Amino acid sequence: MSQQDLGSNGQKERKDMKVLLVHAHPEPASFCAALRDAAVDTLCRNGHEVVVSDLYEQNFNPVAGPNDFGTRRNADYLVYSLEQRNGWQNRTIAPDIAREVERVLESDLLILNFPIFWFSMPAIMKGWIDRVFLSGAFFGGKRIYDRAELTGKKALVTATLGGRDHMFGPNGVHGELNGMLRHLLQGTLGYCGFQVLEPFFGYHVPYISDAERSRCLEAYRTHLGKIDTLPILRMPTLDDFDEVMRPLPKAT
Amino acid sequence: MSQQDLGSNGQKERKDMKVLLVHAHPEPASFCAALRDAAVDTLCRNGHEVVVSDLYEQNFNPVAGPNDFGTRRNADYLVYSLEQRNGWQNRTIAPDIAREVERVLESDLLILNFPIFWFSMPAIMKGWIDRVFLSGAFFGGKRIYDRAELTGKKALVTATLGGRDHMFGPNGVHGELNGMLRHLLQGTLGYCGFQVLEPFFGYHVPYISDAERSRCLEAYRTHLGKIDTLPILRMPTLDDFDEVMRPLPKAT
C-alpha cells in the first residue's frame, strides 16, 4: 500500500463510500443549499456515490405519531420506541420512514446539512431523526455508543448560522458550539454508533459578502477532501459502565 | 408582609401568575399527559391561571416556511429570521403563529411539557419554537440573554424519558442531562431572557410501576408548589461582553 492510500491517522482512504446527505432549508436557493451542492460535487469527484434526501422538497412529515406503524404491538397505547422495535421486526413501518431507514443503513457516511435554528436542527430534520432513527434497527436497550448498530459508519454535521465564530468557544457568550449541539453530536449520532467527524460551520451567513461565501465553500470542499482524516469526536464507551450502565470503578 | 409571603430566596410569592403550558406527546393518555394535568390542577389550586397549548391536539404545523408570512420583506429569497422581524412589525405573521406568540407574551411562566426524543423536544415542539420564538418580539440582534425581550418571565422544562437517573451526571454514561439540553435551556429559553427554573424530569417512564408513577406525580406537585423558590439556572450576562459580543477583560 502506498503512502497516498493512508490518511494521516493511518486509515485506508475510501474512494467508494456511499454517502447519504440529508438537507433541510426552507429557501431552495440558500447558501446552505450551495454547501449541499458543493458536497455532492466534491464527493462525486472523489469517487464516492451520493444520495440526497431534501426534506423540504420531499415535504417530509416530521411528526412522530400512531400512523407511523401499519400494525401496532399495542393499538390502545402508543409507546413510540416500542412500536418502532415491533415495526422494524415485522416490516410494518410506514413507507416514507422505511425508505429513509434503508438509505441510512446502505450508507457509509451520513451528512446532515442544515441551518442552525435555536442551536439545533430545523423541526423538519428533528422529525426525520425522531421517525427514522429506529429503536431496534439503529440501537437497542443496551446497544448504544460503541455497542450500537451503526458502528463503522461516519457522520458529519454541516451547518450554517447567523452568529459569528467569536461568540463560541470556552470564553464565548454562548460557550462551545459543539456543546450546544451535544444532543445531536453525542446524544443522537454518537448514541447510534456513528464515528462523528469534526463538524463544518458556516458562520454569520445572512450577513457575509459573496467573496466570504466563496471562501466558505472552498473551505468546505477542503474539509470534505480530508474526510478520512478529520478528527473524530470522543464518545463514551460502554467499557466504562456495568450492565445497567452504572460507572465501573476506574482501573488504577 | 408576613413570612408566608416570602420564598426562601426572599422573592414575593406570586399567587396570580399567568401560565402557558405547551404540551406535546403522541399518546393522549401518556404519563406525560398526567404530568400536564397535575400541573394544571396544582397551579390552579395555588391561585394561578393556566392556558394549555396541546400541539398534537391542535395538529400544530412545525415546519417553518414561506407561508408563515402574509407579506414578505423579500418575496424572492427567504431569510426566516428577517421575515419574522418584518412580519412582527407589520402584523403579517400567520395566525396560528401569532396566537401562540400572544400566549407567550401574556404569560408569566412558560412550561414546556414533553417526552425527551433524542435528548431534545419532539419535532412538533421544536417547530413550535422555530415558528413562535420570533426575532423582533422575543429577542433582537444584540438583545439576548439578560437584554432580551422576555426578561422577567420564568420558564420550566418538564420532561419524561426512558433513561434512568444514574445514567446522567458528571460520571453518568450520557453526562449531565441539563448539558444535553443546553440548546433548549440556555440556547433557547435563556437566550430570550427567561429565568430558567431547575427542570423536572420523570425518569425511566415506560418501565416503572404505577406506585412509582404516583410518587413521580407527587414529586412534581411538590416541585410546582415551590415555583417561586426553585433554583434558577445560571445564564451568560452581556455585562461580560462588548458591543460585538467579544469577551471583555475580566476586572481584577
The separation between CA A213 and the C-alpha centre of its own chain, rounded to angstroms, equals 23
Measure CB to CB from residue A241 to each of B64, B173, B180 and give the nearest one: B173
Say whether A63 and B123 touch across the interface (CB within 8 A): yes
- Enumerate the residues of chain B whose CB falls inside 8 A of the CB of residue A29: 77
Q: Select from A106, A79, A103, A83 the least CA-distant residue to A93.
A: A83
The span from the CA of A181 to the CA of B112, in Å, is: 20
B187 DSSP assignment:
I
Q: Select from A156, A109, A103, A155 the least CA-distant residue to A132.
A: A103
Say whether A78 and B27 touch across the interface (CB within 8 A): yes
Report the topology of domain A15-65+96-240. Rossmann fold (3.40.50)
Say whether A78 and B126 touch across the interface (CB within 8 A): no
Domain ranges, ordered by start, for chain A: 15-65+96-240
Residue B156: predicted pLDDT? 98
Pick out chain A residues at pLDDT < 50.
1-10
Report the topology of domain B14-240. Rossmann fold (3.40.50)
The span from the CA of A54 to the CA of A36, in Å, is: 10
Q: Select from B216, B179, B173, B231 the least CA-distant residue to B8.
A: B231
The span from the CA of B128 to the CA of A30, in Å, is: 22
Say whether B27 and A244 touch across the interface (CB within 8 A): no
- Enumerate the residues of chain A whose CB falls inside 8 A of the CB of residue B123: 62-64, 123-124, 126-127, 129-130
pLDDT, tens only, A63-116: 999 999 999 999 999 999 999 999 999 999 999 999 999 999 999 999 999 999
Q: What share of chain A is helix, strand, coil (3-state, %, to 5)?
A: 40, 15, 45
Residue A6: predicted pLDDT? 40
Residue A182: predicted pLDDT? 98
Cα dihedral B202→B107→B60→A97 (10° resolution):
-30
Say whether A145 and B173 touch across the interface (CB within 8 A): yes
Measure CB to CB from residue B130 to each of A56, A118, A191 and give the nearest one: A118
E strands, chain A, are 18-23, 49-54, 109-115, 154-160, 195-196, 200-202
Residue A62: predicted pLDDT? 98
Angle CA B99–B105–B109, to nearest 5: 115
Cβ neighbours, 10 Å, residue A131: 25
Q: What are the 10-residue block averages of pLDDT along chain B, 252 residues in total?
A: 40 78 98 98 97 98 97 95 95 97 98 98 98 96 96 98 96 97 98 98 96 98 95 97 92 64
Angle CA B238–B242–B243, to nearest 5: 95
E strands, A38-192, are 49-54, 109-115, 154-160
B201 membership: H or E segment, kind and range? strand B200-202
* Cell of residue A148, nine digits: 450500537
Measure CB to CB from residue A126 to each of B126, B173, B246 and give the nearest one: B126
